[in-house]
A and B are shown apart, each in its own frame.
Chain A
């Protein structure tokens, strides 16, 4: 709890959470592995609720299997159900990979999943006959969805990566970003002519075309062989300011196979995008392709054209810590003051990372709060009186109540169309964000003007 002028009283329950649970993140990450079925070891409800939540954003079929605990399972352990479940899911989906994540239930009863998996392998005549099984421990009572996401990515690498002679290959662990962002990153790497392994790649599995025939598992995703090669890469790039090496995939590869880890904030804004592209120039020993110089020039030009609309505007920014940190830095580039940077996450690093990117944070009156919910944020909004909100669609309740415009970014976006196609990263994503912010300000001015200008 901060000691600022907040009117907040201490509160025990979480009200309108600004976070989701650990297993959701793991399921999302597993969706980015080719021919992989996510599998939750717990009650049926976990899988079904998470499916519903993801489907409402991505508008794609998202099958998540469940070991479907019952009372006996809870008493005698989930071994039998897990094995039967793996067998059934293999029969029905014929997957190349099964991504297994735990829930609060299986964690609390203390199921030793790796041991059960070994038993299952032995029972089925060895691992060679089976799909690859990637296991992530994701107890819902600790951390948030972002922890589950990173746990699944790290575990995929841990399970599959092998060392060997170094290859001309870069790993990119891009974090929890939109399918459109993933496609853009792949375009950049391709244009640099750099062979790459991007994980997790749900750009197609969660934003794909229509089906001419039925697909048990939607096409797309990072292949197991590509993940295997990640141990021989010449470098890893990993986004996420608060993501520590000990919990990350690139951290594992560095420790295990000596693949250097280049850790960057999500590249949002000119400075952060420059850093990312400069790193690519360094790693590829190639100049940034003219196309991106062009994108950058257009963005700088747009900043000049739009600067007066946004200077001094106050924003409340919320969501996953890494997204908040990067967007806050971008807002400072354009003169917007993120008066509150809030997250339901609790890495304990958010304030420090923000400070590094925004050294004059205190003077600017930027407040940082972690581990908060939407009721907390709403209280702060009453005091801070921002001009707009920036975050996922779950802020709509607050936006409507206080008549504050909401610019939707990140996940989830349940009340608008096309959340999966929004760009946030690089010059292109920054351009899109900047346009949307400027237009929101203009729209507000136009709405509140009694004259009704037809030009703004």
Chain B
């Protein structure tokens, strides 16, 4: 396949690296805003905030701005709730031209009062979108006023799309959560307790993880934000340890909680047998005075792996030698996916993320095989180029990456927010392998032009 003519954009070369024997040190220029005119797979500050706070199910989420931002984020994630489902509704102040001219504060105030009366939420999050940053609405003042009148937390989220990258949106969301934390009573919380951070309960994943920890004898105070509840968040400062997944989004919060409440944190990942096991052991290690917790962790790992091992061998036999490309939001997930793919005999030829940092990419290089391409903030043209050049059999990504794979006759695994099948935990690894197997081994590819089908 001729991909020589697909060139990298000027200004993008430093965000692409190929691991070669004796090659240069990895020095990926990341943490940059996307290049103008490049079709970045990233979204914006608003998206970062929305992603983090979305699963809080007993709060209303109001997008202050014109209709688009709310319309495109209405019920688009598989973040499930065991109770209220206010997060699945879409609220917008739907600003019109006159509001832009005269300001949207009054409309926001009225909207808030009406929505709180109608839905009786335990809190409200108000997301600022691009033009709020321009027209200068005093969101803080409106929020304060409504909070006072209605007696619930009304939290501004400064997520104007253009004010940074998705990561800044994560920070704005963490900041909003931080204002809630500390408001609740910590009475009765066990010394052997944790918060689960950065787990969004996609397809019920937080429930799976929570159950493991509870089986170990650990109390889970709050999951942030999967199946999230305002009251749980408010008392989460009573936990002994913060366990952080999706480190890109939630490390800020963990650091703030460490500073303010002295709660240490560890980074974990729940994807793949290896990392899932480690995340149980690491937590157990934090409670050395209770050896039974570690014993229990070992027991869970043993039992679970035994349960899925035979099936995994079947998948591995079929998939051995196949090649995968990974392009996901956070770099930490990429590490786990590389390990998980190795478990089923697959190698990784392209690894990248939207929001990794220098340390992430250095670690990524260590893990990767020779010839693996590492990309930061990539785009469809680059992804296609490397998928073709490296002859990948599978792409792991989200909705925006899916059609690239399918057009080129390559299997696909959805590892993004829309997934409806849990991929975390031991059972999640089984589903992951199953999904990869079903896509890579499908007989439909025989008709794909690249696999010998008719052109």
Contact = CB atoms under 8 A, between A and B. Distances in A.
Interface string B98-142: 011000000100110011000000000000011101110000000
Given A48-B400, A109-B134, A92 B97 contact: no
Given A13-B94, A108-B131, A63 B39 contact: yes
Interface in A32-53: 39, 42-53
Given A47-B39, A104-B66, A60 B403 contact: yes
Nearest to A49: B72
B345 interface: no
B449 A212 contact: yes
Interface in B383-424: 384-385, 388, 399-400, 402-404, 406-409
A128 to B, nearest CB: 21
A210 B96 CA distance: 42
Given A12-B107, A14-B92, A67 B37 contact: yes
Contacts of B406: 59, 210
B391 to A, nearest CB: 13
Nearest to A21: B68
Interface string B342-382: 00000000000000000000000000000000000001110
A142 B42 contact: no
B107 A20 contact: no
A271 B311 CA distance: 59
B40 A48 contact: yes
A52 to B, nearest CB: 5
Nearest to A18: B71
Contacts of A21: 66-68, 71
A85 B36 contact: yes
Nearest to A139: B97
Contacts of A61: 380, 403-404, 407
A305 interface: no
B2 A74 contact: no
B252 interface: no
Interface string B424-438: 000000000000000
Given A65-B37, A87-B37, A14 B43 contact: no
Contact of B47 (A45, A71, A91): A45
In the complex, which of the residues A11, A64, A68, A89 has the most CB atoms of chain B within 10 Å of its own CB atom? A68
Contacts of A14: 67, 70, 91-94
Contacts of B409: 210-211
B96 to A, nearest CB: 6
Contacts, number: 246
Contact of B68 (A16, A23, A59): A23
Contacts of B111: 12-13
Chain A interface size band reads 35 or more
Nearest to B455: A212
Contacts of B332: none
B41 interface: yes
Given A63-B380, A141-B100, A70 B33 contact: yes
Contacts of A212: 449-450, 455
B100 A210 contact: no
A245 interface: no
Interface in A369-388: none
A394 interface: yes
Nearest to A69: B162
Contact of B9 (A20, A24, A91, A394): A91
B42 A44 contact: yes
B43 A49 contact: yes
B114 A11 contact: yes
A225 to B, nearest CB: 25
A162 interface: no
A421 to B, nearest CB: 16
B162 A65 contact: no
B10 interface: yes
A43 B44 contact: yes
B1 interface: yes
A47 to B, nearest CB: 7
A52 B397 CA distance: 13
B75 interface: yes
B164 interface: yes
B300 interface: no
B3 interface: yes
B90 interface: yes
B68 A140 contact: yes
B115 A13 contact: yes
21 contacts: A16-B89, A23-B68, A45-B47, A48-B47, A52-B399, A60-B407, A61-B380, A64-B39, A66-B37, A68-B33, A71-B163, A88-B9, A91-B9, A92-B381, A104-B66, A105-B131, A108-B131, A139-B66, A140-B66, A212-B449, A214-B385
Given A45-B44, A141-B100, A214-B388, 8 more contacts: A43-B161, A47-B40, A87-B37, A88-B37, A92-B379, A93-B381, A105-B162, A214-B385
